[in-house]
Amino acid sequence: MKILLTGINSKYIHSNLAVRYLRAYTKDLNFQGKIKEFTINDRLENILEGIMEEKPDVVAFSCYIWNMEYVKRLAEHIKIIDENIEILYGGPEVSYEAQVFLKDSFCDYVIVGEGEATFRDFVKYKLGEKELKDIEGLYYKKNDDIFFNGFRKELNMNDLVFPYDKDDDLDNKIVYYEASRGCPFKCKYCLSSVMNGVRFLDVERVKKELKFFIDKGVELVKFVDRTFNCNKNYSIEIWEFLSKQDTKTRFHFEVAADLLSDEEIEVLNKAPKNRFQLEVGVQTSNHKVLKNINRIITFENVAEKVLKVAKNKNVIQHLDLIAGLPQEDYNSFKKSFNDVHSLNPNEIQLGFLKLLKGSAMRDEAEKWGIVYSPYAPYEILKNNDLSYNDLLELKKVEKIVDKYYNSGKFNNVLRFFLNGYETPFEFYFEMAMYFEKIGHFKRSLGNVEYYKVLLDFNIERFNRENENVLKEIIKYDYLCFNKKKWLPDFLIRDISKEEERNIRLELKKKAPYNKSHIEKFNLDILNYLDKGEVVWTDNYLIFNEEEFGYENNIKFI
């Protein structure tokens, strides 16, 4: 008997934690349980072929808002090809309307809630060791009737089996991990609001499992815990442990910044640079809106903690905003954006409200005039405070923020432009409208074009004001993150072979890098970036050709 555990991920670099838990929790049973992962960017025909070539008896899908429509189409095709193959759904997207999926989709079983123990009993049923009617947490069809065996009690976290093993290929993957389940908060837009309490893995077990990732050389471990720091003693112990490791692995945590204690912040401030990455759900800085979504925080408190964590510039911070929250109109959202931008986080993640099944916000949609898509991911289309066109504009702003701010590759160019605007939002909005005007949102831009369009925007918006300064800044930003030996034709390379040869002779005495590139600037660029002063004088920078980033160059003359 063969069950194919199928993950349809949103990106290739993602790994599916759910199917790994199911495999690990049943590895002692006498059946073939194989994992196969795809992405929503794969052609449906190719995924279908990949599934059918395994000749499974059961195909189990892990269902989320980003893959549900895809999964339903795959299930229909599987049944058309071979009606004897059974389909099992599980995951948050099917847990709240399981009977609807059984009635309207091409599936035979739906696991609701946590799946590990229910899936184990299901495997036993397929092996003839358990009755179907005795499996808690399972909906199933029988003679066109739908049955449910009742909800299952939540697992003790320490009964879970570690979902990874030494043979897993985790190279170039974001590896997901959880140390706890549940959340102490009741935010209305989140599924965690319907769960009670928080359960934790034993902290010594967590350390051991994290050491597995470190030894395997994983690049990024992303904790899926809803609020990692809800128990400060627990978070401190894990952060202290990870801080002491000799590793380049980075660890991502979702935290409630307002809960961060002085002790936790001290641990974070002492951590190795870029060891930790924090995601902070700000969502809005409007106190009334925060109350509407049941978030008992203040932006001022969040901001204070974020700035304290940022003090030593060693922790990466991502701050989240949500557009479309009840009673947040366009002007309020602009203020929220500007408030968050003023904290200078590493990333600003601008999301849009989604009315998830099972969430309190879906129940209140009519109250706030929220109209949302009937299809996953159930994203807002309009509400009493934002029109459809308002949201379309904000989506365009989000694309500009993501490319120019979140990439971290245009920091100095952004600072140049932001100095010409009263608020950051005004710049990103104008840039978005310029992209819209010239049709850039409807085509795929090459890397160099994102630099060139900055010069074009400056011509239109500022009539070439400070154009030569801007070109020097763009050249600097470009060389920090791109191949050094070639410059696009809109940037001036003005170093002669003789100049470079003489500098190379000097470099032999200093040799800062094994492989380096020398570039001549007419503007004292580092002085400008440090003090904002425009001093026109020939100077040279040495760029490290082996690494990219703002820290990988030095001033020479």
pLDDT digits 0-9 by tens, 402-450: 999 999 999 999 999 999 999 999 999 999 999 999 999 999 999 999 9
What pLDDT is recorded for position 97? 87
Residue 279's pLDDT band (boundaries 50, 70, 90)?
very high
Structure tokens given for 68: 């549900």
- pLDDT tens for residues 506-543? 777 666 667 888 899 999 999 998 888 889 999 889 88
- Asked if residue 498 has pLDDT above 90, the reply is no
Residue that is written with structure tokens 């009690």 in the block: 153
What pLDDT is recorded for position 130? 95
Dihedral, CA atoms, 326, 327, 329, 335, nearest 10 degrees? -100
Between 226 and 463, the more confident residue is 226
- Asked if residue 377 has pLDDT above 70, the reply is yes
Query: Residue type for 249, please?
Result: T
Question: Of the given ranges (197-206, 290-299, 504-513), which has the lowest mean pLDDT?
Answer: 504-513
Alpha carbon distance, N-terminus to C-terminus of the chain: 72
Contact 391, 381 (CB under 8 A): yes
Contact 93, 69 (CB under 8 A): no
Highest mean pLDDT among 35-49, 90-104, 238-252: 238-252
What pLDDT is recorded for position 195? 66
**What percent of the chain clears pLDDT 70, i.e. is strictly above it?**
98
What pLDDT is recorded for position 345? 98
- pLDDT tens for residues 49-93? 999 999 999 999 999 998 998 999 999 999 999 999 999 999 999
- Stretch 303-317: mean pLDDT: 97
Residue 416 burial class via C-beta count within 10 angstroms: exposed 0-12, middle 13-18, buried 19 and up? buried
What is the residue-averaged pLDDT of the chain? 93
What pLDDT is recorded for position 420? 92
What pLDDT is recorded for position 194? 62
Angle at 393 between CA 390 and CA 394, to 5 degrees: 90
* Cα 345 from Cα 71, distance rounded (Å): 36
Structure tokens given for 64: 């989320």
Phi-psi region of 319 (alpha: psi -120 to 50; beta: other; left: phi over 0): beta
Q: Name residues whose C-beta falls within 8 Å of residue 72's C-beta, 6 or more positions apart in sequence.
A: 105, 106
- Asked if residue 211 has pLDDT above 80, the reply is yes
- Stretch 333-348: mean pLDDT: 98
Query: Residue type for 311, please?
Result: K
Contact 450, 513 (CB under 8 A): no
- pLDDT tens for residues 157-203? 999 999 999 888 888 889 999 999 998 888 999 877 566 789 999 99
Q: Nearest 5°: phi and psi at 554?
A: -135, 155
- pLDDT tens for residues 92-108? 999 988 988 898 889 99
What pLDDT is recorded for position 452? 96
What pLDDT is recorded for position 512? 65
Total-model pTM: 0.92
**What percent of the chain clears pLDDT 90, i.e. is strictly above it?**
78
* Cα 321 from Cα 317, distance rounded (Å): 13
Structure tokens given for 393: 């504009």
- Stretch 208-229: mean pLDDT: 96
What pLDDT is recorded for position 423? 98
Contact 437, 468 (CB under 8 A): no
Q: Name residues whose C-beta falls within 8 Å of residue 204's C-beta, 6 or more positions apart in sequence.
A: none
